[in-house]
Amino acid sequence: MSEKSPLMRQWILLRTLASRRYGVTVRELAKIMEVSEKTIRRDLDLFMQVGFPLEEIVGEHGKKKWKLSGDLTERGLPITYDEAIALYLARCLMEPLAGTMFWNAAQKAFSKIRSLFNETAWAYVEKMAHSFYQTRTGVCDYAKKAELIDQIMVGIEDHRAIELRYCSLKATQPVTYEVYPYGLTYHRGALYLVGLLVERNEIRHWKVNRIEGVELTDRSFEIPEDFSLQEHFAGSFGIFQGDQDYHVRIWFSPVVARYVSEAFWHASQQLHSLRDGSLIAEFDLDSLEEIQKWILSFGKHAEVLEPEELREKMRQEIGEMLAAYSSSATTPSKQRRFARPAQVAFGIPDLAEISPPVKGVR
């Protein structure tokens, strides 16, 4: 912790004061924050100025302790001040769902939280909120899909079949399907409907952006007892699925090893650090499509060790990319032909069609 990050320090200070039922001394706070007692006293003065209910407790031998007094139950919410602030700060995570039923409900909750603070305290909370920013690269806008998503949710909750009008990326006209909607999943800034395609008795995925219409029917269905979204995607490296069993091993150079090790990529991942600073990652998957694109995003700093099928796919993809860049000039026809390599370079899955069928119900 450092005096160079006052908002982060003050946030942790708020949490500490709220969690210590019997209070905490200035000296203890200074030790926790790794700053001077003078700095802590300035922070406490700030909290009192903005209106947080700080309480000073005088104990044995005149020892003074501080705590954040009470919660917000009397004001309409059975939570503490730090919890209310955390919920408000989390509103940026809901922005991709603006216009949907989820966003509208969240906005009402945020309004209630806003009403709990006076203007001075609210200015402080807003200042803290501006210290966080969520990038929106690749995030879809669902403002115009609110009614459609509402219908899907009713179908999911009431176990009612829906007639789904869907236009894939390559199609020129939408096609209507009868679907048993099982649930929604959020992946890389986009919502996907998971359900049973009735005419083929196969579980499929539909990108919500490409759904043009939803009509609820009176036909009911039952979700198989052994089905869960978590298990359904267990073998997937994202949204694509297959019916194979692949053990994937990838070598990452020291340049990107730390980046790879810092994140959770898949439930099956095993990461092995090597003496030279490089890393070997292992995954058990049922499809290679998405992990191939992910590996390509690391360029020369990643190499597939196994399976051989994936190594061959990489050789073929890299060869085609090399051919595309080998020409000294790019003709208009070539521009059209290679309009999508950026997708590959950044590891963005191409869900042009409804996802491939999943054999059986998991």
Q: Is the peptide bond before 307 cis (omega within 30 degrees of 0)?
A: yes
Separation between Cα atoms, residue 82 and residue 35, nearest integer Å: 21
pLDDT beneath 70: ranges in the chain: 1-5, 70-79, 92-93, 96, 99, 101, 131-133, 328-362
Helix (H) or strand (E) holding 158: helix 146-158
- pLDDT for the residue numbered 260: 96
Give residue 219's pLDDT.
96
Q: What is the pTM of this model?
A: 0.68
| 23/230 Cα distance (integer angstroms) | 42
CA dist 86 to 52, 61, 121, 132, 228, Å? 15, 36, 14, 12, 30
d(CA 213, CA 174): 9
**Which pLDDT score, from 0 to 100, does residue 328 have?**
63
Confidence at residue 10, expressed as pLDDT on a 0 to 100 scale: 83
Closest CA to 251 of 341, 311, 312: 311
What local confidence, expressed as pLDDT, does residue 3 receive? 45
What's the rounded Cα separation, in Å, for the pair 61 and 277? 55
pLDDT of residue 342: 44
Helix (H, G, I), strand (E, B) or coil at 248: strand
pLDDT of amino acid 63: 84
Q: What pLDDT is stored for residue 356 in this prediction?
A: 47
The pLDDT assigned to 265 comes to 95
A 10 A CB-CB count for 29 gives 24
pLDDT of residue 345: 42
98 forms beta bridges with none
Query: 24 is written with which tokens?
Result: 């905490």
Structure tokens given for 71? 């919660």
How high is the pLDDT of residue 187?
87
pLDDT of residue 114: 77
User: CB atoms < 10 A from the CB of 64, how many?
Assistant: 12
Residues paired with 247 in a beta bridge: 284
